[in-house]
């Protein structure tokens, strides 16, 4: 019914019956409507929104939409008034063929919350197809000797409609020789036929032209015609006769090519050529029969030559004739009815409609992800389908209607554990053997910012050589975030604090994206031995999450301070030490002691003393202690020794490169009686304070060795307990320090004791004793000045 404003009042009487046709089942969520085929565009079908209990105002906000596995453009919904109407031409025969039931199944989907409704629109048949004969003209060859009541089969007409519209009646144009034999309803398999009611006479009537008309039962009636040309032949007394007029055979649809269907048998009472029979299909047999079956012309055996499909045709009616070789030839007729038996040869078909992909990892159980529909072309139990899902996944299948399922979330998701699921939906029929089909569903889990950036270690130790260039890269911090995309985008920053009188940002900086840590100014081991601070890592999620890591930067000593000579204990001028030595002293007599200090630490502060050679060929009776700096005689002095000696003592540390200082000692040889006071003063300077200084140095060396050993043990334990941080790259290379003690043959000549500054974020500077390697091995380049752990 077309519903337009012009005829609204005139059609109100028809609206009530149409609404009564729209029945629905509220409990199952299914509606039933009906509409005639070939209805015009805009024809009213039903008030679908009202029948589903939906408000007109919520159709657009809730994304009202329809889906159909058939053509989706046949029906449409006006979102302004909620009316379901015909959108394009509906041809029932094209849509459902000759099926007794024909309907369009619609899925109506609305969101917020998600609801799925099922609507069936039955397509009513109208009489829009006339009866059609296989050909417009049928030629029949009938011998004039055929007896009365001889029957000649005809191929009836077919009508694409169903029911009353396809119920055909036949009439034959008036004539005196033939009448039409129409089978009753319970003899539908018996073909239509002409029956001879008056003997033929070829000489009188060689040809007959008749018109056969077929009329259907529709309103209005439609007709189809075929011209019958009957050619009268001279007599051949007996026509071939089949032992049965109807042969019934059942074949499975998967029968193999070459299978024998049946062997119909005909006999002819004549002799000779008049009794020789040729078998064939009737001339008006359909091309489909010819493509599936073959009949041997001599034996009459019918074999399969094509594919049989129960879903295409459940039965094949084959008209067969046997023609003798007489003149004129006579023919006998029968019908072979081949019933096709269904086998389970069609796997189920799955159709997926995704709704909520990707799915956020914080989605609640019960969230609908995908709609699934299944269909099996087979019949009976072969077409009964059940669905199953990949086991051990946080999803499940929920049946919403026959052959319709929803894939829903069954338990909580965690993208960091599993970021995507490859699900397999299996549809299996109940046939024997069972057939199945699978469909893959890729469910991607969308990230939610539920993980803070995490460092591999809570604390890192970095060793940096002093006097580093400004802007030197000393370390790279790296935090991993288990989230994805912007939730895993990490930026770095310093946790600001005060280092003495200065801000931390005046010493170091961190690159926000790469995490590289830079030293902004040269560091001085003598002023700052430890700089401890924190770096913060924060992601870009909403809300952002973050964490901190502690960096301990130890400033390693470099040999940047040369040895410094102490003021002479014995009188002298110009920085030279003057000593008076009696000629009577023996070998090993201590003449003087050179004293020096080094502001560095470790090996860089470990001093050794050498006596510079004098002029070539000259020898002097003095030597200097390698580590003590004591100048002593190598032998007893005699009269041949020069009265004055100028000794140059080279003081050298053990750094790389080594730094030096030179001390000058002027030694004058005097007679024993001339320098008692000097000798006494020298003796006092050696036997008292000098011996005491040596003892103090020995104790200091022992203490430094003990502290260094404890530090080595501590570093080894620290390394074993913590994973080594990745090597940083940059302008400053990395080294590992080697901690050693002095040897038994010597020691540091002087150990500077001072208050070291240790700066961290936990409190004010503190006093600590740091023992570093006296000798740093050569790194990859000459600029190596950083090491970390």
**458: exposed, middle or buried (Cβ count in 10 Å: 0-12, 13-18, 19+):** exposed
Mean pLDDT, residues 754-770 taken together? 39
Q: What's the domain range around 428?
A: 349-440
- DSSP summary character for residue 147: P
CATH number at residue 611: 2.60.40.60
Instruction: Report if residue 745 sits inside a domain.
Output: no
Instruction: Report if residue 770 sits inside a domain.
Output: no
Q: Say if strands 75-78 and 151-154 run parallel, antiparallel, or are unpaired.
A: unpaired
pTM, full prediction: 0.50
Mean pLDDT, residues 438-442 taken together? 91
Mean pLDDT, residues 702-708 taken together? 82
Q: Would you say 351 and 69 are in contact if contact means Cβ atoms under 8 Å apart?
A: yes
What is the three-state SS of 693-723?
Answer: HHHHHHHHHHHHHHHHHHHHHHHHHHHHHCC
**pLDDT over threshold 80, residue 152:** yes
Output the pLDDT for position 474: 93
Confidence of residue 697 (pLDDT cuts 50, 70, 90): low
Say if residue 227 is in the same domain as residue 291.
Answer: no
Say if residue 665 is in the same domain as residue 579.
Answer: yes
DSSP letter for each residue of 481-509: -SS-GGGG-EEEEEE--EETTEEGGGTEE
Mean pLDDT, residues 511-528 taken together? 91
Instruction: Report if residue 681 sits inside a domain.
Output: no
Last residue of a domain, one of 207, 233, 259: 233
SS3 at position 140: strand
Structure tokens at 398: 């929920």
Q: Alpha helices, DSSP H only, in 342-488? A: none
Tens-place pLDDT, residues 191-246 = 889 999 999 888 788 899 999 999 998 888 999 999 999 998 867 778 899 999 99
Q: How far is CA 66 from CA 48, 495, 501, 720, in A?
A: 11, 57, 73, 66
Instruction: Report if residue 686 sits inside a domain.
Output: no
Last residue of a domain, one of 310, 341, 372: 341
What's the total number of domains in the chain?
6
Structure tokens at 631: 């100048």
Say if residue 552 is in the same domain as residue 458.
Answer: yes
Backbone dihedral region of 145: left (phi > 0), alpha (psi from -120 to 50 degrees) or beta?
alpha
Average pLDDT, the chain: 81
Instruction: Report if residue 445 sits inside a domain.
Output: no
Last residue of a domain, one of 99, 124, 149: 124
Least confident of 291-300, 399-408, 623-632, 705-714: 705-714
Confidence of residue 185 (pLDDT cuts 50, 70, 90): low
Confidence of residue 393 (pLDDT cuts 50, 70, 90): very high
- DSSP summary character for residue 43: B
**pLDDT over threshold 80, residue 358:** yes
Say if residue 258 is in the same domain as residue 286.
Answer: yes
Say if residue 421 is in the same domain as residue 384.
Answer: yes
Instruction: Report if residue 737 sits inside a domain.
Output: no
Least confident of 270-284, 494-508, 529-543, 768-782: 768-782
The string over 429-444, giving b where at least 16 C-beta atoms fall within 10 Å of a residue's C-beta and e elsewhere, is bbbeeebebebebebe
Q: How far is CA 344 from CA 20, 255, 312, 334, 377, in A?
A: 40, 13, 14, 32, 9
Q: Which has more pLDDT, 665 or 780?
A: 665
**pLDDT over threshold 80, residue 311:** yes
Q: Residue 64 and residue 498: Cα distance in Å, rounded?
A: 63
Q: Residue 709 and residue 712: Cα distance in Å, rounded?
A: 5
């Amino acid at each position: 019914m077309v519903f337009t404003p012009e005829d609204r009042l005139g059609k109100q009487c028809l609206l009530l019956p149409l609404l009564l046709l729209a029945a629905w089942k509220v409990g199952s969520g299914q509606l039933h409507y009906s509409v005639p085929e070939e209805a015009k565009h805009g024809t009213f079908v039903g008030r679908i929104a009202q029948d589903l209990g939906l408000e007109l105002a919520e159709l657009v906000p809730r994304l009202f939409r329809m889906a159909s596995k058939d053509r989706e453009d046949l029906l449409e919904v006006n979102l302004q008034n909620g009316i379901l109407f015909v959108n394009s031409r509906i041809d029932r025969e094209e849509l459902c063929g000759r099926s007794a039931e024909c309907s369009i199944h619609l899925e109506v989907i609305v969101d917020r919350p998600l609801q799925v409704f099922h609507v069936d629109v039955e397509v009513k048949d109208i009489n829009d197809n006339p009866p059609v004969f296989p050909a417009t003209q049928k030629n029949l060859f009938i011998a004039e000797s055929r007896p009365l009541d001889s029957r000649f089969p005809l191929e009836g007409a077919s009508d694409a409609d169903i029911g009353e519209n396809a119920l055909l009646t036949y009439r034959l144009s008036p004539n005196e020789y033939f009448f039409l034999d129409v089978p009753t309803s319970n003899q539908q398999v018996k073909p239509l036929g002409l029956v001879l009611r008056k003997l033929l006479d070829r000489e009188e009537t060689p040809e007959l032209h008749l018109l056969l008309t077929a009329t259907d039962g529709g309103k209005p009636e439609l007709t189809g015609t075929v011209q019958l040309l009957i050619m009268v032949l001279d007599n051949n007394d007996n026509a071939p006769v089949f032992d049965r007029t109807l042969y019934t055979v059942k074949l499975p649809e998967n029968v193999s090519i070459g299978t024998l269907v049946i062997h119909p048998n005909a006999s002819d009472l004549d002799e000779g050529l008049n009794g020789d029979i040729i078998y064939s299909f009737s001339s008006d047999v359909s091309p489909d029969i010819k493509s599936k079956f073959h009949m041997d012309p001599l034996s009459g055996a019918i074999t399969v030559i094509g594919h049989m499909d129960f879903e295409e045709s459940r039965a094949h009616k084959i008209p067969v004739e046997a023609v003798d070789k007489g003149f004129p030839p006579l023919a006998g007729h029968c019908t072979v009815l081949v019933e096709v038996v269904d086998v389970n040869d069609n796997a189920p078909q799955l159709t997926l409609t995704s709704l909520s992909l990707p799915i956020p990892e914080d989605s609640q159980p019960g969230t609908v992800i995908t709609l699934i529909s299944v269909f099996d072309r087979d019949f009976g139990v072969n077409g009964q389908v059940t669905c199953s899902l990949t086991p051990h996944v946080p999803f499940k299948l929920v049946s919403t209607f026959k052959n319709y399922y929803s894939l829903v979330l069954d338990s909580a998701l965690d993208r960091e554990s599993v970021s995507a699921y490859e699900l397999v939906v299996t549809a299996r029929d109940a046939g024997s053997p069972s057939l199945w089909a699978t469909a893959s569903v890729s469910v991607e889990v969308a990230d939610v910012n539920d993980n803070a950036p995490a460092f591999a270690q809570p604390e890192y130790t970095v060793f940096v050589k002093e006097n580093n260039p400004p802007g030197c890269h000393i370390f790279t911090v790296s935090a991993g975030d288990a989230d994805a995309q912007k939730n895993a985008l990490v930026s770095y920053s310093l946790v600001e604090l005060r280092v003495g009188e200065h801000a931390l940002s005046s010493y170091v900086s961190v690159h926000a994206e790469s995490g590289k840590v830079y030293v902004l100014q040269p560091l001085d081991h003598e002023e700052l031995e430890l700089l401890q601070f924190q770096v913060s890592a924060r992601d870009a999620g909403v809300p952002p999450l973050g964490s901190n890591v502690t960096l301990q930067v130890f400033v390693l000593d470099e040999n940047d301070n040369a040895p410094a000579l102490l003021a002479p204990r014995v009188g002298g001028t110009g920085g030279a030490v003057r000593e008076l030595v009696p000629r009577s002293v023996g070998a090993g007599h201590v003449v003087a002691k050179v004293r020096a200090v080094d502001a560095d630490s470790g090996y860089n502060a470990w001093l050794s003393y050498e006596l510079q050679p004098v002029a070539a060929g000259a020898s002097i009776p003095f030597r200097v202690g390698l580590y003590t700096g004591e100048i002593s005689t190598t032998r007893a002095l005699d009269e041949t020794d020069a009265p004055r000696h100028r000794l140059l003592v080279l003081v050298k540390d053990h750094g790389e490169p080594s730094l030096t200082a030179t001390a000058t000692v002027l030694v004058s040889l005097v007679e024993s009686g001339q320098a008692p006071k000097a000798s006494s003063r020298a003796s006092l300077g050696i036997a008292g304070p000098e011996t005491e200084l040596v003892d103090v140095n020995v104790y200091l060396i022992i203490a430094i060795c003990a502290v260094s050993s404890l530090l080595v043990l501590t570093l080894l334990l620290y390394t074993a307990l913590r994973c080594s941080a990745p090597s940083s790259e940059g302008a400053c290379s990395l080294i590992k320090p080697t901690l050693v003690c002095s040897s038994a043959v010597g020691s540091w000549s002087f150990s500077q004791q001072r208050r070291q500054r240790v700066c961290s974020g936990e409190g004010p500077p503190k006093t600590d004793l740091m023992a570093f390697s006296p000798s740093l091995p050569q790194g990859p380049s000459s600029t190596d000045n950083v090491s970390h752990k």
